[in-house]
Amino acid sequence: MTSATARMIQAHANHGVASVNGELRPIHFPRRIERPLPGDLVRIDEAGSLTGLIGRRNLFGRGDARGRFRPIAANLDRAVIVIAPRPAPSRDLVHRYLAACLIRQIDPLIVVNKSDLPAPDQAPFTELKALAAIGFGHVETRCRPDLDIAALAPRLGSGITLFAGQSGVGKSSLLNALVPDLEAQTGQLSRVTGKGVHTTTTATAHRFGDSAWLIDTPGVWEYGLWKMPPDDLQRGFPEFAAHASQCRFRNCRHDSEPGCAVVAAVEAGALPAFRHAAWLRLLAEQERLGR
CATH topology of domain 230-290: Ribonucleotide Reductase Protein R1; domain 1 (1.10.40)
Give the pTM: 0.93
Q: What architecture does CATH give domain 59-216?
A: 3-Layer(aba) Sandwich (3.40)
* 59-216 matches 230-290 in fold: no
Domain boundaries, the chain: 3-54, 59-216, 230-290
The confidence score (pLDDT) of residue 138 equals 97
- pLDDT by 10s per residue, the chain, length 291: 578 999 999 999 999 999 999 999 999 999 999 999 999 999 999 999 999 999 999 999 999 999 999 999 999 999 999 999 999 999 999 999 999 999 999 999 999 999 999 999 999 999 999 999 999 999 999 999 999 999 999 999 999 999 999 999 999 999 999 998 888 888 888 888 866 554 567 899 999 998 899 999 988 888 999 999 999 999 999 999 999 999 999 999 999 999 999 999 999 999 999 999 999 999 999 999 987
Cis-peptide into 124, omega within 30 deg: yes
Q: Which of 18, 44, 10, 9 lies closest to 30 in space, CA to CA?
A: 44
Quickly name the fold that domain 3-54 has: SH3 type barrels. (2.30.30)
